[in-house]
Amino acid sequence: MNMKKQGLAFYLNVLAVILGIVGVILTVVSSTMTTDNALSNLPVLVIAGIVGIILVCIAIYAPNRWGNHDPVSFISVVAAIALYSYLFGAAVSQRIMLIAGLFSYNSGNTAGWSIFYVSVAAWVCLIVGILFLIVGSFLKSVKE
């Protein structure tokens, strides 16, 4: 790949990869901080995240071979958004009761607050990554 030829979407997608990696790592960290608050399907979530990251990598590479707005990168970005969203949504749904407790009857749960902060960081990474992918899909990946 000729770096001089890369468009804005390329850089946004690279950032989305980095954010995806950080998001997955933080999700794993949040799940392993205590055994009692582990995410029930962590392996599935991690695989979803990794596949999403790989798809974004494909979306970065594909335009260099087939040009902007090629079907491969299109499908890869859409699928990656779906997988990032799944990772985010599945993690949130499993943390709702914890968060409800922290903000009401269980505000003294220091371990829970730590999990909450790490989880929020993971979710921010994933959401921003998704936003970058969406914005990037409207922009050119390679200069023509």
Partner 1 sequence: MEAWNGDEFEFEGAGYNLNQTMIDIYDKLNETYNHATNENPEEVYDPGEPSISEIEGINSSYKDSFAQYGDAAIVVISRPSAESKDYLPGGIKEGLGAEEPLALTTNERDIIEVAKESFDKVIVLVNTATAVEIGDLKNDPEIDAILWIGFPGCYGMLGVADVLCGRTSPSGGLFDIFPTYNMSAPAMQNMGKMYYTNTAEEITRTGGVLGFVPGAYTIEAESIYVGYRYYETRYYDSVAGTGNASDPTGAYASTTEWNYDNEVAYGFGYGLSYTTFSFEFEGEPVFDITVDPETGAPNAYATFNVKVTNTGDVAGKTPVQIYGQAPYTPGGVEKSAIQLLNFEKTEVLNPGASEVVSVKVDLQYIASYDETYDNGDGTTGTYIMDPGDYYFSVGNGAHDALNHIMAAQGMDASKMSGTGNAAQAYKKTIDEDFISKTLFSVSKTGYKISNQLPYADWNYYQPGEVTYLTRTDWAGTFPQTYDAMTLTNEELINNLNGYTYELQTDDDTSSIVWGEDNGIQFYEMYGVPYDDPKWDDLLDQLTLEEAMYIFSFGGPSIPGAESIGTVETYMTENAGNGIAVALNASKDPTAPWAIPAEDPNGNWHPQVFGNAPLGASTFNPELMRELGEFTGIESLFTGINILWGPGLNTHRHAYNGRNGEYYSEDPVLSGVAAMEFAIGALDYGLVAAPKHFAFNDQESERGGVSPYMTEQRAREVELRAYQIAFEATKYDTEDYDAGMRGLMTSFSKIGSIECTTSEGLMTEILANEWGFIGYAVTDIYDDVDLWAAVLNSGTTCFDTRGQSGFYDQTTLESSNLFRNLIGGMSLNANLIDGDANLQLKLKEAVHKNIYAWSVSHLMNRYNATTHIESQMTWWRATYYGLMGVSAALMVVGAVMYVVSSKGKKKEEK
Q: Does residue 90 interact with partner 1 by CB under 8 A?
A: no
Closest distance of CB 18 from partner 1, Å = 26
Q: Does residue 43 interact with partner 1 by CB under 8 A?
A: no
Q: Does residue 31 interact with partner 1 by CB under 8 A?
A: no
Q: Does residue 112 interact with partner 1 by CB under 8 A?
A: yes
Distance, C-alpha 133 to centroid of its chain: 10
Q: Is 88 exposed, middle or buried (0-12, 13-18, 19+ CB in 10 A)?
A: buried
Question: Would you say 11 or 113 has its CB closer to partner 1?
Answer: 113
Binding piece for partner 1, criterion CB under 8 A, among 17-25, 37-45, 54-62, 122-130: 37-45
CA distance 76 to 57: 9
CA distance 70 to 19: 24
**Which residues are 49's β-sheet partners?**
none
DSSP state of 40: T
Q: Which residues bind partner 1 (CB under 8 A)?
A: 34-38, 40, 67, 69-71, 74, 78, 94, 96-98, 100-101, 105-112, 115
